[in-house]
Amino acid sequence: MMWDQWWIWAGAGIVLLIIEVFAPGFVFLGFGVGALAVALILAVGGGLITSLSVALLVFAVCSLVAWLVIRRLAGERKGQIKIWDTDINDN
């Protein structure tokens, strides 16, 4: 089986982190962290993840938690919204 190889999950996580550099917005960063978390679990104690569905569940939960934490730490703060009164095309 390919899904139970830790290095595949680690490679996918690194690819997702590289994609985040080119497409910022903290979307792929959460997925990358989730994939790296699954890779770590498989590398350290692969007995916890017994099937593809469990691996995908762990990936989804870790990705969601990572995205929420990243959004909380680096997201838009209250009072940082810029309201434009004029347009660049107005003379």
What residues contact residue 13 under an 8 Å CB cut-off, 6+ apart? 32, 33, 34, 35, 36, 39
Q: What is the pLDDT of residues 24-58, one digit of tens each?
A: 777 899 999 999 999 999 999 867 888 889 999 99
Burial pattern 9-26, b for ≥16 Cβ within 10 A else e, equals bbebbeebbeebeeeeee
Read off the tokens for 58. 């762990």
> What is the per-residue pLDDT across 4-27, written as a single tens digit (0 to 9) for each?
888 999 999 999 999 999 987 778
What does the pLDDT read at residue 79? 66
Query: How far, in whole angstroms, is CA 54 from its chain's centroid?
Result: 18
**Using an 8 Å Cβ cutoff, are 69 and 17 in contact?**
no
